[in-house]
Every structure is written in C-alpha cells, then in structure tokens.
Amino acid sequence: MKNRRCHDVNRRTASELSGAVGGARAAESTGDMSTYRMEDGTVVKTENAIQSWKSDTRWDGNNHISTATGSQWEHQVLHKSRKGRYWLEYWSQWQGSTPHAEWISNHEAARWLLHNNEDHELPDDLAALEQEVSE
C-alpha cells in the first residue's frame, strides 16, 4: 500500500527517522529542516546548505515522475554544504522507508545537475567539469 502521508520528509517524526539506511541516517527532523549524520560522522543540515536543487519531474499522463529516480514515490535533492561539499538527500513516500543522505563527488554532482535540472546552469565550481561528464 502506498504511503498517503505528505512527501515532505520534514514532517516525519524522529522515531520514524531513526533507522540506518544508505550513506547516512536521519538524526532528527523538525519544521522544514532535516538533519543527517553522514557515514564519516559529519552532521549535515538542509537548513545550512548554501544551495539546493530539487530533481526535475516529467508528467507521464498520470503522475509527476522524478527524473533522478524514475519514480513518482522516490525523490532526491542535491545540496551544497557551507564547506563546498555536495551531498544527495534521498526520501520516499513509501511507507516504512527511511530518508538518508550521502556525500557525492563534484563529478557526480555535475552529472546529477545536468541530468536533473535542465533549466539551471552549473555552479562555478562545477562548470569546468561539464565537458568531462557530458557529450
């Protein structure tokens, strides 16, 4: 059965976010912000990101499908930390799923942006990578 709750990960309770999944586990969630502990122990907060990009969606005639995941239920947001590191936040509307986050390389961030945000230019620190990651 599909999860009927709002897709906003920030409205989930801390107990729902306590399981470990993927690169990091959600430590807490309040208001419009989420906090994750990365595998290397670093704590990242969505509110501290200096820039964030949601994945584009396409209309399939019935639903908005995420370009990043190919799903109407699973989502990704790319964030750039205050220290200039890129990380992906993953969340799903599936019942029982746990939001998580992981660090990604600058090359992966450039690929993600080129694939998922056609209307946005690459940030200055990634612009030089465009020729390497696309044809």
The pLDDT score that the predictor gives to residue 117 is 75
Q: Shortest CA distance to 70 belongs to which of 115, 34, 32?
A: 115
Q: Is the pLDDT of residue 125 over 90?
A: yes
Q: What is the mean pLDDT of the chain?
A: 78
The pLDDT tens digits for 89-110 are 998 888 888 899 999 999 999 9
Q: What are phi and psi of 24, to 5 degrees?
A: -155, 165
pLDDT for 80 equals 97
Residues with Cβ within 8 Å of 26's Cβ and at least 6 positions away in sequence, in order, are 9, 12, 17, 18, 34, 35, 36, 98, 99, 100, 101
- Residue 96 Ramachandran class (φ > 0 left, ψ -120 to 50 alpha, else beta): left
72 by Cβ neighbours in 10 Å (0-12 / 13-18 / 19+) ranks as middle
> Which strand (E) or helix (H) includes residue 115?
helix 106-116
Of 7-16, 63-72, 126-135, minimum mean pLDDT range: 7-16
The confidence score (pLDDT) of residue 19 equals 34
Query: Which candidate, 73, 51, 54, 76, places its Cα nearest to that of 64?
Result: 73
Q: Rounded to whole angstroms, how far apart are CA atoms 129 and 121? A: 12
**pTM, two decimal places:** 0.73
Say yes or no to pLDDT of 119 above 50: yes
Residue 118 has pLDDT above 80, yes or no: no
> How far apart (Å, rounded) are the C-alpha atoms in residues 100 and 113?
19
Work out the angle at residue 45's Cα, subtended by the Cα atoms of residues 43 and 48, and round it to the nearest 5 degrees: 120
